[in-house]
Amino acid sequence: MSSPFELTRNITIGQYLVRNSIIHKLDPRFKLASFAILLVGIAICDSYIGNLIGLFLSIYLFHLASIPVSYGVSGLKPAIPFMIIIGLMQLFLYKEMSPDNVIYWQLGFLEVSSASIKIVIISVLRFMQIIFLSSILTLSTSTTEITRGLERLLSPLQKVKFPVHAFSLIITIAIRFVPTFAMEMEKMMKAQASRGAEFGTGAWWQIIKRTTEMFPLIIPLFNVALARGEDLILAMEARCYTPGSSRTVYTQYKANGNDYVALLVSVGIVFVLVFIPYPW
């Protein structure tokens, strides 16, 4: 019998898998940039062939990263019911006014046309690629690296007074405290349960009752978080942190050949996906 209180088990932020692959070793700046470029390509590409190529390439990336494809597939599974619903809606409700759109079936405002079939299939393919790509990114890059990479990528924005470092510091703090709060929450759930707490007992329409029933968890969670925040403010000030003042940087990345290759290949793939006029 497993305990209902093992919260930490369900936390999947930072699913980082330690491997020694080419993908893992990429400079996070370049990895993030390549990821972004590929996403844009996938979002624009609306041909069957282009999307199939994209799907094939994203599966190949798992191989490159020495990560079993099953990790990506498991990300797809929970989405299937919703995909079916959305797919059906698009299938019957999507309308397009174009001369070569063939309508196969029609009933009232419902219609199935060549355009609606295409949009369903393309959406499914696109969705799979996006899931696979983001899985590879999060499985091969630690959250720390993602944050650092993001900070460096955004650093040109400093010129227009965008507080890049403060921004990445916020994200770092958020990621840093998720496991802490999760443990806190776990303790809180146990403690309130021992005092007889029950959740979701009111009649289904009693919104207020059902909400206030969660108070024993929600209120302490926010209180503890904000109280910790107060402490952290002092600790950061005591360590000479002043927002906006100049600072040096500890982790420095140096891009090597592989990184540039990765970027170029990504641009190449986008070109292949978007600019080649495929027949379908």
Partner 1 sequence: MNQPILSVKDLTYVYMKSTPLEHQALLGVNMEITEGEIVAIIGHTGCGKSTLIQHFNGIHFPQTGHVMINGMDLTKPKLDVKSLRRQVGLVFQNPEDQLFEKLVGDDIAYGPFKMKLPLEEVRERVKWAMEMVGLPFDEMKDRATFALSGGQKRKVALAGVLALRPKILVLDEPTAGLDPKSRRELLEKIKKLNQEEGITVIFVSHNMEEVAYLADRIYVMAGGKEVCHGTPEEIFTNPEIILQHRIGTPETVRTLHRLHEEGYAVNTGRFRVEDASTEIRKLLPE
Partner 2 sequence: MVERGLTVRKIVIAGVLGAIAILLGVTRIGYIPVPTPAGNATIMHIPVIIGAIMEGWGVGMIIGLIFGVSSFLNATVVLFKDPLVAILPRLLIGVFAYITYVGLKNFNQYVAIGMAGFVGSLSNTILVMTMAVVQNYLVPGAAIAVVLTQGIPEAIVSVIVTLAVVTTWKKLGPSGKQKSKIS
Partner 3 sequence: MANEPLLQVEDVSYSYKINSKETLQVLTDVSFSVQKGEYVAIIGHNGSGKSTLSKLLNGILVPEKGQVRVKNLLTSDRTQIKEIRRTVGMVFQHPDNQIVATIVEDDIAFGLENIGVPHDEMDARITGALEAVGMSEYRYRPPHHLSGGQKQRVAIAGILAMQPECLVLDEATSMLDSYGRDDVLAIMRKLHENGMTIITVTHHMNEVIEADRVIVIAEGKIAMVGSPREIFMRQQELESLHLDVPDCSRIAKVLHQEVSSFNATAMNPEEIVSEVKRLTHVNQEESKS
User: Does 195 contact partner 1 by CB under 8 A?
Assistant: yes
Residue 36 in 3-state DSSP?
helix
140 burial type by CB count under 10 A (0-12 exposed, 13-18 middle, 19+ buried): buried
Taking Cα atoms as reference points, which of 15, 51, 218, 43 lies closest to residue 135?
Answer: 15
DSSP state, residue 205: T
Which residue in the set 19, 118, 126, 228 belongs to the binding site for partner 3 (CB under 8 A)? 228
User: Does 103 contact partner 3 by CB under 8 A?
Assistant: no
Among partner 2, partner 3, partner 1, none, the one that 192 touches (CB under a kind-dependent 5 to 8 A) is partner 1
User: Does 44 contact partner 3 by CB under 8 A?
Assistant: no
Among partner 1, partner 3, partner 2, none, the one that 251 touches (CB under a kind-dependent 5 to 8 A) is partner 3
User: Does 251 contact partner 3 by CB under 8 A?
Assistant: yes
Q: Please say which residue, 117 or 236, places its beta carbon nearer to partner 2.
A: 236
User: Does 254 contact partner 1 by CB under 8 A?
Assistant: no
The C-alpha atoms of residue 99 and residue 80 are separated, in whole angstroms, by 33
Strands (E), the chain: 103-107, 110-113
DSSP state, residue 101: P
Q: Given the rule CB under 8 A, which residues bind partner 1?
A: 1-3, 5-6, 9, 184, 187-188, 190-198, 215-216, 219-220, 223-224
Q: Given the rule CB under 8 A, which residues bind partner 3?
A: 143-144, 147, 169, 172-173, 175-176, 179-180, 183, 228, 231-232, 234-242, 245-252
